[in-house]
Chains A and B, each alone.
Chain A
Amino acid sequence: MKENKIMKGNDKSKIMKSYAGVLLFIALFIGVVTLFPERKEIIVNESLKYFIEMLLIIPAVMLSIGLFSVWVSKEQTSRYLGKESGLKGAAISIIIGSLPTGPLYMAFPIASSLLKKGASMLNIVVFLGACACLKIPQGIVELKFMGLEFMILRWSFSIILIILMGYLIERVVDVKGDIAPNIK
């Protein structure tokens, strides 16, 4: 999708823009390495770690988004996650979000494909929120380090506030006007 957009635009500034982050990173890397040569190993190791993480996760996520868009119909999505789904829809979004699906940056493409399929804004926000702070693998670590009481309190407050956030954003953001231009 990204490549198509670049091809369609067909001007150099757009291509430059999509590589701006990489160029900035390279410039920063050269700058830091010349100033602090002893840091080079840490930087290379960490970058490599994240690069491998992305390589492992992105194909799986893209594949599941593809299968989702073929197998799950629009009616099903809007029935379970649409405007009329109510608290049941929010509960489903929290359960999907807390499944171990990788870091937050992988949740955005998933959320946008859900939105395309007719999920409501409330459920999208709830899904993103749950994906960010109610992950099951993260919860296990939290339980170990912070204790059960802390975890139960934080999870229950998070669930309440995420749903509130969803209501708020659903009222303010208009799917057609504010988001539709970004979804193609």
Chain B
Amino acid sequence: MIGAAFITSLTMIGFTSLPLEIKEFGIKFTVLRNISSFAAAILIAVAIGVLL
């Protein structure tokens, strides 16, 4: 479960590439995408924890 949360959030939330993302897509898109990625990571982790 923790592994799933770790892998997903590790790869989906690009903290080091935030400035690049803001430059290409604007602040609103970046904030939304990163927050929803974080939520998705937690959801995936919970789902895998329940099922495995």
- A interface residues with partner B (beta carbon < 8 Å): 21, 104-105, 108-109, 111-112, 125, 128-129, 132-133, 135, 138, 142, 146, 149-150, 153-154, 157-158, 161-162, 164-165, 168-169, 172-173, 178-179, 181-183
A146 to B11, CA, bound (A): 16
Are A105 and B20 interface neighbours, CB within 8 A? yes
Chain B positions within 8 Å of A132 at CB level = 11-12, 14, 37
Are B37 and A182 interface neighbours, CB within 8 A? no
Are B32 and A173 interface neighbours, CB within 8 A? yes
Interface residues on B, range: 20 to 34
Are B36 and A178 interface neighbours, CB within 8 A? no
Are A157 and B52 interface neighbours, CB within 8 A? no
Are B25 and A179 interface neighbours, CB within 8 A? yes
Q: Nearest 10 CB-CB pairs, A to B?
A: A105-B17, A161-B40, A132-B12, A133-B11, A112-B24, A157-B44, A132-B11, A104-B14, A108-B24, A165-B36
Are B14 and A182 interface neighbours, CB within 8 A? no
Within 8 A of A (CB), among B1-52: 3-4, 7-8, 11-12, 14, 16-17, 19-21, 23-26, 28-29, 32-33, 36-37, 40, 43-44, 47-48, 51-52
A109 to B17, CA, bound (A): 12
**Partner among A157, A158, A173 whose Cβ is within 8 Å of the Cβ of B29:** A173
Chain A positions within 8 Å of B52 at CB level = 149-150, 153
Chain B positions within 8 Å of A157 at CB level = 43-44, 47-48
Chain B positions within 8 Å of A149 at CB level = 52
Given A158-B44, A162-B40: A179 and B16 interface contact (C-beta under 8 Å): no
